[in-house]
Structure 1
Amino acid sequence: MGDCVIEPEQDYKGRVGDDPPPYIKMPQNIWPKDAPFLREGLYNYYSHVFPLAMKLVRIFALAFGLEEAALDGIFKFPITGMRALHYPPMPKEECGTIGLGAHTDFSWLTMVLQDSVPALEILNKHGQWVQAAPKPNSFVCNVGQYLERQTNGRFVATVHRVRNQTGERRYSLPFFLTPDPDANIHALDSFIAAGERPQYEPFNVGDLYIRRVLPARHRHPTSVKYRDVPESEWKYELLYG
């Protein structure tokens, strides 16, 4: 869910006093009609976690040596997404198998709310997998690929995986925050030493986003629809039909 600034519950127009980008013409979320409580419950949670994420953006700005509101301009209409993930229970002989392979998040920041079943593991700088044990009333916050690029590699995207060793059913609610698709981002000057070149070239958020999303969601109707479109012509607007 999320991902669409014209969903009524997200109300970005009321928040920033501005209109969404013109290419966003239709909601992207499809909700099950026989479970209306699902949309209500998830959006209630979303309405709390999104403002918290935006507060963290300002805290990051201060940590970067910038003015508190310095990053607000690239988060007017951010790409926000939330997933309700269910990992089914496993038979004893399958405990310890990988439920979700090692990866980094294609976001700026990810906030993960877990239930009490331990399964999330983080790869530390020594190449060892350590458990991110669930703690009540807390989030696991992962640095995403966009934040790594913006900090010139100083903040490294978190490599993580899911490996359930208990066999118990598990739920998690990751929330993904990424800057506006129209934003152009470069490595911040405060992370580039004198005489040093940036590790990453400047990039457009939307262009980079669609180059990751379309190949990853190869069975999604949007990916199927534009399968024959040359990559040089891919634009973020394609996601909105």
Structure 2
Amino acid sequence: MSLTSLPVLSLTMPKAEFAQAIGESFRTFGFAMVKDFAIDRDLIDRAWKLSEEFFALPEDEKRSYHNPAIAGARGYTPFGVEIAKDAKHHDLKEFWHVGRDLPEGSPLADASMPPNVWPARPAGFQDVFTELYRQFDETGATILSAIALYLGLDEHWFDKGIEDGNSVMRLLHYPPIPNLSGEAIRAGAHGDINLITLLLGAEEAGLELLFQGKEWISASPPEGAMVINVGDMLERLTNHYLPSTIHRVRNPNPERAKFSRYSMPFFLHLRSDFPIKTLPQCISADNPDRYPEPISADEFLQQRLREIGLKK
């Protein structure tokens, strides 16, 4: 393995060994590649088919599921709305968000966690993506238990923090690019807001991470593996011990520009009222506390949504 290639880790490894391996990959890259996860392959295949069918619907029909008042929290967000922090051009993508269905009467139900929106077609959309969300959620919790062990915490440390968490599954469509000469790219350089991101569908070339802030390297996994990366919330919680690495989706080579690109990231969030407070073991003389004042997960999210153009 070269110093700039990510190892592919298996969830069948012994728990302690996996925890150490994913922790080291996160420390080095802010990213990891993981295979042998417990998400049903047939379900994933059905999800890809339904995602393609939805994004092929007429523009007016898709836009009928767009509600600017909820800042993209659920349903459809049209092409060219989202922009990377500090970028000059909007991203070349459209997407659909599926969130958590909260128990009736939950105090967390607000504009940040509104009810899900479901399209009238394609048929089966709600059932497939409700189940896929559940399986993503369970896999994310498994990954977080390994991260907890790596940080010297109890393996269940994150459990309460993500219970009824504001996690979002995004169905992403990057349409064909007829003109590659513009400055806009499919997804501008950015860090993710959340704790960790689990990404399916990055096998198509384009996903790159900024290795040690100096060099763009490919983060495309082999078939059957997913990409997992540290988000800004986990970076803050660990006082930058685990880095939220800047990444992008660059435009394709000319021969691939006429094809769409699809992916499905699952943004695993803390519950909205969770106080993000620096972990004591991540503070030292060499790494003093960058964030002496805690911030709630929802306050952090709202701040970032404004920065990326989803909230005014």
The 3 A distance-change label for structure 1 pair 170 and 193 is: same
Identity percentage of aligned residues: 30
Contact 2:237-2:279 within 8 A present in 1 as well: yes
> 1:56 is paired with a residue of what secondary structure?
helix
Q: Does 1:109 align with 2:196?
A: yes
Unaligned runs of at least 5 residues, structure 2: 1-96
Indicate the SS of the match to 1:161: strand
Give the counterpart letter for 2:99 in structure 1.
Answer: D
Q: Which residue of 1 aligns with 2:107?
A: 21
RMSD of aligned Cα (Å): 2.7
In the alignment, the residues of structure 1 paired with residue 260 and residue 182 of structure 2 have an alpha-carbon distance, to the nearest angstrom, of 11
Q: What secondary structure is seen at the aligned counterpart in 1 of 2:163?
A: coil
Query: 1:185: Cα distance to partner?
Result: 1.8
Match of 2:276 among 182, 185, 203: 185
Mapping of 1:201-220 within 5 angstroms?
A: 201-214=293-306, 216-218=308-310
Tell me which amino acid in the other structure corresponds to 2:301.
Answer: Y
Contact 1:5 1:20 in 2 (8 A): no
CA distance in 1, matches of 2:133, 2:185: 28
Point out the more displaced range, 201-210 or 189-198: 189-198
Would you say the 8 A contact 1:88–1:170 is kept in 2?
yes
CA deviation after TM superposition for structure 1 residue 95, in Å? 10
Match of 1:90 among 177, 184, 188: 177
Report the Cα offset of residue 35 of structure 1.
Answer: 2.1
What SS does the corresponding residue of 1:2 show, helix, strand or coil?
strand
Gaps of 5+ in 1: 7-12, 228-241
CA contact under 8 A between 2:101 and 2:116: conserved in structure 1? no
Change in Cα spacing, 1:19 to 1:157, as seen in structure 2 (3 Å) is same
Q: Provide the residue aligned with 2:153 in structure 1.
A: 66
Q: How many residues align?
A: 210
Q: Distance in 2 between matches of 1:195 and 1:94?
A: 46
- Please give the TM-score of this superposition, normalised by the length of structure 1: 0.77
Residue number in structure 2 paired with 1:37: 124
Does the residue aligned with 2:167 lie in a helix, a strand or coil? strand
CA shift for structure 1 position 131: 1.1
Alignment-derived partner of residue 122 in structure 1? 209
Distance (Å, rounded) in 1 between the aligned partners of 2:202 and 2:286: 47
The alignment's TM-score, normalised by the length of structure 2, stands at: 0.61
